[in-house]
Structure 1
Amino acid sequence: MPAEDIKDDYHLWQSLKEGKQEALANIYFNHFKSLYEYGVRITANEELVKDTIQDLFIKIWTNRSNFENITKIKPYLLVSLRSALYNKIQQSSKRPVRSLEMKDEFEMVFSAESKYIARESHLLQTQKLLAALNQLTPKQKELIYLRYFEELDYEEIARIMNSSLKAVYKLKARGLDTLKQLLHVSDILLLGLLTACCREIFA
């Protein structure tokens, strides 16, 4: 994240703590899309995702004066949403509570209605990449999504996934190795493909 973005995040969070509602609104509108897209990959229940995001921002506003200073807002919100979603899913399930490490699914599908559709000239390439991504393990898919689609650094990803930095690097290496084998490409071509796919999807 550029230094100016970190500075902006810091001042925005300070304004929120001071009780300025426009700061809360800015944070909400700046990050809702990322939170929603991340949430629907954890659970297909879109209403649950939306409700959880709303609850998260209500909690932030209610407890604003108790929060510590935050320099990067997005990772904090993703951590909070992930935890809140898992808690709600576990509470509504009749099965025994399971740890975050045992999550079974993480979806890499981009819906036809979303804005994240690759342009027609690159659609086939994007579909091949997404098909390969969906052959990864759930944790590998989540890591790839956070790294290449949300552009978070590995320290932030480790925090979000409640994992060690060493484990995150190992997970990334295994995921990329699998993608190279599935797509029959080199390291450089794979990274280029991931970058190009992100540009097309988020164009």
Structure 2
Amino acid sequence: MSELEFQRCLREIKNGKKESLKIIYDYYGHVIYSYALSIIKSEDLAKDICQDVFIKIWSNGSKYSNNHKAWIMTITRNTSIDYLRKYKREDIVDEINVIDNKDMIEDINQKLQIKESLALLNKEEREVVILHTISDLTFKNIGEILNKPIGTVTWRYREAIKKLRKRISL
């Protein structure tokens, strides 16, 4: 979604056109959910966060200035952190349903391997990897979201990739 399309949607939302919020949701819903899930580690809470983010987009559109991706991801990050404060980390339990389907079991195994690999990274490295690979943000946008210089973001990403490659080669 281009910057102009996003601004048009915000104007239409302000004028009460709910369909424009759906357009933003269709474009960014999965990215917001994935980023929230990477922080909160609970599928149910990630869904709640996703809803809260869209409520904030709906009600705070007038506060938007520029770079909609960074703005949306910052809202997602801050909302997720608020949830972490509300629901202490030790109270959040990972949810894995028992499934007999072979394909689903393989999918779960793959997700567990990815999760185990990401667990090797520190919080900052994990956040940069997820924002760059899953959310498809540039290092510049990630720097804006995390309030870090682009050099620091790039360095963290490279260090994280080194760790992940080392893990994969074992």
TM-score by length of 2: 0.71
1:9–1:71 contact (8 Å) kept in structure 2: no
Unaligned runs of 5+ in 2: 104-108
Paired with 2:56 and 2:117, the residues of 1 have a C-alpha distance of 38
Q: 1:62 to 1:68 in 2, by over 3 A?
A: closer
Counterpart residue identity of residue 80, structure 1: I
The alpha carbon displacement at 1:92 in A equals 4.1
Gaps of 5+ in 1: 94-103, 119-123, 185-203
Q: CA deviation at 1:112?
A: 8.8
Cross-structure match for 2:72? 77
* Superposition deviation, residue 71 in structure 1: 4.4
Following superposition of structure 1 onto structure 2, how do residues 63-142 of structure 1 map, counting pairs within 5 Å?
63-64=60-61, 66-72=62-68, 74-93=69-88, 131-142=116-127
The TM-score, its normalising length taken from structure 1, stands at: 0.62
Name the counterpart of 1:193. Answer: none
Matches of 2:21 and 2:111, distance apart in 1: 35
Please report how far the alpha carbon of residue 146 of structure 1 lies from its aligned counterpart in structure 2 after TM superposition: 1.2
1:181 aligns with 2:156: no
Query: Is the CA contact 1:34–1:150 (under 8 Å) kept in the aligned structure 2?
Result: yes
The CA deviation at 1:183 is: 3.5
Q: Distance in 1 between matches of 2:146 and 2:137?
A: 12
* Counterpart contact for 2:33–2:49, Cα < 8 Å: no
Is the counterpart of residue 37 in structure 1 residue 37 in structure 2? no
Deviations, residues 17-44 of structure 1 (Å, cap 9, x unaligned): 3432211121123221111121111113
| Alignment size in residue pairs | 162
Q: Which runs of 4+ in 1 moved over 4 A?
A: 124-131
SS of alignment partner, residue 2 of structure 2: helix
Checking the alignment, whether the CA contact within 8 Å between 1:14 and 1:69 is kept in structure 2 is no
Higher helix share: 2
Aligned twin of 2:52: 55
Query: Shift of residue 133 of structure 1?
Result: 3.8
1:187 equivalent in structure 2: none
Letter in 2 for 1:26: I
What SS class does the counterpart of residue 64 from structure 2 fall into?
coil
Structure 1 position 11 matched with structure 2 position 8: yes
2:106 maps to which residue?
none
Per-residue CA deviations over 1:129-149 (Å, capped at 9, x if unaligned) read: 665444222321221121122
Identity %: 23
Partners of 1:16 and 1:140 in 2: CA distance: 35
Give yes or no for contact 2:36–2:49 (8 Å, CA) kept in 1. Answer: no
